[in-house]
Amino acid sequence: MTIPQTMKAVVQLHDGYSGTATGPTLDDAAPFLELREIPVPQPAEGQVLIKVAMASVNPSDIHFIKGEYGQPRVKGAPAGFEGCGTVVAGKGAYAESLVGQRVAFVATHSGAWAEYALTDASACIPVRPDLRDEDAAAQIVNPLTAMAMFDIVREDGAESFVFTAAGSQLGKLAIGLGRDHGIPAIATVRREAQAEALRALGAAEVLVTTAPDFHERFAAVAAARKPRILLDAVGDQNSADMFFAMRSGARWITYGKLSSEAPRLTQMGQFIFMNKRIEGFWLTRWMQSTPMEQRIKVVQEVQERFATGKWRTDVSARLPLDQVVEGLAEALRRPDGKVMITP
Ligand SMILES: NC(=O)c1ccc[n+]([C@@H]2O[C@H](COP(=O)([O-])OP(=O)(O)OC[C@H]3O[C@@H](n4cnc5c(N)ncnc54)[C@H](OP(=O)(O)O)[C@@H]3O)[C@@H](O)[C@H]2O)c1
């Protein structure tokens, strides 16, 4: 296949960090991104060039382009962490062996919101032919996080766990795991409209954080079901209040910051007398610390779940590359699914 000299890409307009903490919302992408024609990147040793078929938009992408994520932006480099496509070139034995292979990938060197992405061969996962592009393009960030965090739930031994922002793609995956393993989720959402769908997916309880009696209802559910793990991507005062309403030994595992509110820790004594803990989870660290054989097993299970319909990536909008800058903010306002970018 002939690889062109240049490609269309949605590139970042800023370097480094912004110092703000406004959360993964976007009024307008134009201050952060621009569509450009740029040279197709060349693989160095251990890297592959991927012809992108589809790229997903995750909250981490929005944190990142705004300069609020855990790694610095690079001005002029394409945005987009995750996608799927076909490897068209590689350098080094393993990278070359992937040429022609359809892969899910995390873009480590040149982002996925482009016609071609550049990444480490080790950041690619060969994809089963029976998986849809929609599931392949969103196969790493959320599914691996769901599997890894659900292991924490299983090891805890309790009969339920609490999951906030449960209408998120990650929430739906975690609820499905809870259903299949007999440890059903206590889900919280901010919109009542999401509740029924989450019950249908297998959540034991769905509580609406904006309801006037939310705190009383949560206290009753926590007393009855005795969860010890709070998997939380919101990080607001409701999250803190739920944590303090949970039993001894409760762990608040924070893995996202959807709210820009700074919660107050109102009951410090619980850390001393009730052995409570606040922890963080980041998939990047899990990838680095988990042995290869275990990661392979997890990936196989992820693909099996998508192939058999136990999991499904919901898509709320599709944007061609040349409409991303103008259309991304509006597309992100459509609820209950991922925005997918196609070249
Ligand atoms: N630490 C890690 O390694 C890791 C890995 C993967 C994902 N994550 C995090 O996981 C979270 C979910 O990701 P996703 O891709 O599944 O999200 P998603 O599908 O884009 O969904 C986002 C959800 O969050 C809800 N939400 C947004 N702002 C909120 C707020 N202030 N209060 C309550 N709910 C709010 C939205 O509710 P509405 O529909 O009401 O707007 C929506 O249901 C994100 O924070 C992401 O950064 C972290």
**Mutation to probe ligand 1, out of 168, 284, 333 (largest number of atoms < 8 A from CB):** 168
**b or e along 23-49 (b: 16 or more beta carbons within 10 Å of the residue's beta carbon)?**
bbebeebeebbebeebebbebeeebbb
Q: What does R_g of the chain's alpha carbons equal in angstroms? A: 20
pLDDT above 90 for 264: yes
C-alpha of residue 164 to centroid of ligand 1, in Å: 9
Distance 59 CA to ligand 1 centre (A): 6
Centre of ligand 1 from the C-alpha of residue 115, in Å: 27
Cβ(58) to ligand 1 under 6 A? yes
pLDDT (average), residues 46-65: 98
What average pLDDT does the segment 53-82 reach? 97
Q: Is the minimum distance from the CB of 233 to ligand 1 under 6 angstroms?
A: yes
Report the nearest atom of ligand 1 relative to the CA of 280: 1
The model's confidence at residue 282, banded by pLDDT at 50, 70 and 90, is very high
- Contacts of 276 by beta carbon, 8 Å cutoff, 6+ apart: 243, 246, 248, 249, 250, 251, 252, 270
Residue with structure tokens 């944590």?
Answer: 243
Q: How much distance in Å is there from the Cα of 14 to the middle of ligand 1? A: 24
* Contacting residues for 88 by C-beta, under 8 A, at least 6 apart: 1, 3, 49, 50, 51, 99, 116
- Find out whether the beta carbon of 176 lies less than 6 Å from any atom of ligand 1: no
Task: Name the band, by pLDDT with cuts 50, 70 and 90, for residue 1.
Answer: confident
Ligand 1: which residue has its CA nearest to atom 7? 142
Neighbours of 83 (CB within 10 A): 32
Contact 141, 166 (CB under 8 A): no
Backbone φ, ψ for residue 195 (5° rounding): -65, -45
Report d(CA 73, CA 66) in Å as an integer: 9
pLDDT (average), residues 102-130: 97
For the Cβ of 106 lying below 6 angstroms from any atom of ligand 1, the answer is no
Give per-residue pLDDT as tens, 221-261: 999 999 999 999 999 999 999 999 999 999 999 999 999 99
Per DSSP, the residues of 48-80 read EEEEEEEEEE-HHHHHHHTT-SSS-B-TTSB--
pLDDT tens digit sequence for 83-99: 999 999 999 999 999 99
Structure tokens belonging to residue 237 = 């005062």
H or E stretch covering 116 = strand 116-120
Nearest CA to ligand 1 atom 29: 258
Q: Which of 287, 242, 301, 244 is nearest to 269 (CA)?
A: 244
Closest ligand 1 atom number to CA of residue 261 = 31
CB contact at 8 A, 268 and 200? no
* 234 CA from centroid of ligand 1 (Å): 7
Distance 211 CA to ligand 1 centre (A): 20
57 within 8 A of 340, measured Cβ to Cβ: yes
258 lines ligand 1 (CB under 6 A): yes
Please identify, by atom number, the ligand 1 atom nearest to the C-alpha of residue 255: 1
List of domains in the chain: 6-138+313-342 (3.90.180.10), 141-284 (3.40.50.720)
The pLDDT value given to residue 18: 96
With contact defined as beta carbons under 8 Å apart, do 213 and 223 qualify?
no
pLDDT, tens digit (0-9, with 9 covering 90-100), for 128-169:
999 999 999 999 999 999 999 999 999 999 899 999 999 999
Name the token pair of 291. 């042995």
User: Using CA of residue 206, residue 209, residue 210, residue 212, what is the dihedral sign?
Assistant: positive
Q: How many CB atoms lie within 10 A of CB 161?
A: 27
- The ligand 1 atom nearest the CA atom of 142: 6
Rounded distance from Cα 223 to ligand 1 centre (Å): 26
For the stretch 305-330, pLDDT in tens is 999 999 999 999 999 999 999 999 99
Instruction: Quote the percentage of the chain above a pLDDT of 70.
Output: 100
At residue 244, the pLDDT reads 98
The structure tokens listed for 101 are: 């292979």
Mean pLDDT estimate for the chain: 97
Contact 143 CB / ligand 1 (< 6 Å): no
Span from the CA of 68 to the centroid of ligand 1 (angstroms): 15
Give the C-alpha separation, 28 to 7, whole Å. 24
245, 215 in Cβ contact below 8 A?
A: yes
Query: Residue 207 above 80 pLDDT?
Result: yes
